[in-house]
């Protein structure tokens, strides 16, 4: 039974990349909202520490917190993760694909190719593989919530961070496509842009330096870091909303935790469904008033 205080009570979620940063914040907000969680990450020590530190938040009846070392880019790991969630958690109806890396910095021709590919494998393939693993269960249950983490790389070019930009744009298009495939299955699939976060990824970017990421972008991100960045709570709160019954029927969207009035989306559900708002679309000259004629 959901309530305003515990909108995820009676639900369970798999959260990838949950041992630090935004993933940890999402896990904390889910627990406070009443959900049981299975946290996954590649780093065992930090994952165990995170699960131990968050355990006291599991205060609702029947609530559980589990941790599993897993690589989202490994298909066998994804299958095993979903199998454990279905066996040990009540009503595992939520998947949060948060695991991600920036990948190599610098010009594409200078990038280490294996590092470039690995970024695609984690950011894109990891999202797809976890969805493939959980979808049969959600289809059988005729209900599910899938939330994929996107970012600035999905909606604007990111020179010198090409693998991240390409993978995140692909995640959004995959989100839109999967939403159409599951539209009649009771499954909502959305992506979120959490804002410029002051996390490990930001540290990696700053450490790369202006020569690798470009002077203007380096300066802008340094200012973001020094100002504290976007609070992790914003992305986590949006994720709770998209995992709750309040967002039922909202699907196939890329929603910004910072700029979009997402809390009021249920009031515009019909208009949203009939539009292409919060999606990636091609802009034509007519969309911008046509070409200006030469004098």
The yes-or-no answer on residue 83 being catalytic is no
Based on the residue annotation, tell me whether 278 is a catalytic residue of this protein. no
Compute φ and ψ for 292, nearest 5 degrees.
-75, 130
The active-site residue out of 25, 150, 163, 247 is 150
Examine the residue annotation and report whether 168 is marked as an active-site residue of this protein.
yes
Residue bearing the bigger pLDDT, 204 or 263 = 263
pLDDT of res. 1:
44
The predicted pLDDT at position 206 comes to 81
**Set 102, 119, 167, 168: catalytic member:** 168
Question: How many residues belong to the chain?
Answer: 295
Which range, 148-152, 239-243, 256-260, is most confident?
Answer: 239-243
| Amino acid 121: pLDDT | 97
Q: How far apart are the first and last CA of the chain?
A: 66
pTM, rounded to two decimals? 0.92
CATH number for the region 12-195+232-282 comes to 3.40.50.720
Q: pLDDT (tens digit, 9 = 90+) per residue, 199-237?
A: 666 777 788 888 888 888 788 778 777 876 778 899 999
Domain-wise residue ranges, the chain: 12-195+232-282, 198-229
Closest C-alpha among 103, 37, 100 to residue 73: 100
- Active-site annotation holder among 12, 73, 145, 164: 164
Helix H or strand E encompassing 265 = none
Share of the chain above pLDDT 90, in %: 76
Confidence of residue 2 (pLDDT cuts 50, 70, 90): low
Single out the residue of 228, 244, 212, 227 nearest to residue 105, CA to CA: 212
In this prediction, residues 27-47 reach a mean pLDDT of 97
pLDDT tens digits for range 73-86: 999 999 999 999 99
């Amino acid at each position: 039974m959901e309530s305003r205080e515990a909108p995820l009570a009676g639900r369970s979620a798999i959260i990838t990349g949950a041992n630090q940063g935004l993933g940890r914040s999402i896990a904390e907000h889910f627990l406070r909202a009443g959900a049981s969680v299975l946290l996954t990450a590649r780093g065992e020590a930090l994952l165990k520490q995170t699960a131990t530190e968050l355990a006291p938040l599991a205060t609702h009846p029947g609530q559980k917190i589990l941790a599993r070392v897993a690589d989202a880019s490994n298909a066998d790991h994804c299958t095993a993760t979903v199998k454990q969630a279905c066996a040990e958690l009540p009503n595992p109806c939520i998947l949060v694909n948060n695991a991600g890396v920036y990948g190599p910095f610098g010009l594409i021709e200078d990038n280490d190719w294996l590092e470039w590919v690995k970024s695609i494998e984690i950011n894109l393939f990891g999202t797809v593989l976890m969805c493939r693993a959980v979808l049969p269960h959600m289809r059988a249950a005729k209900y599910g919530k899938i939330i994929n983490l996107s970012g600035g790389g999905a909606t604007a070019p990111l020179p010198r961070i090409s693998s991240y930009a390409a993978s995140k744009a692909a995640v959004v298009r995959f989100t839109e496509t999967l939403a159409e495939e599951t539209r009649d299955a009771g499954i909502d699939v959305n992506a979120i842009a959490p804002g410029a976060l002051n996390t490990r990824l930001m540290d990696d970017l700053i450490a790369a330096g202006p020569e690798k990421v470009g002077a203007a972008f380096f300066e802008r991100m340094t200012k973001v870091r020094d100002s504290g960045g976007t609070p992790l709570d914003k992305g986590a709160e949006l994720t709770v909303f998209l995992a709750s019954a309040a967002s039922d029927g909202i699907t196939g969207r890329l929603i910004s935790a910072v700029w979009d009035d997402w809390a009021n989306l249920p009031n515009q559900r019909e208009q949203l469904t009939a539009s292409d708002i919060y999606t990636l679309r091609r802009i034509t000259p007519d969309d911008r008033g046509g070409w200006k004629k030469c004098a």
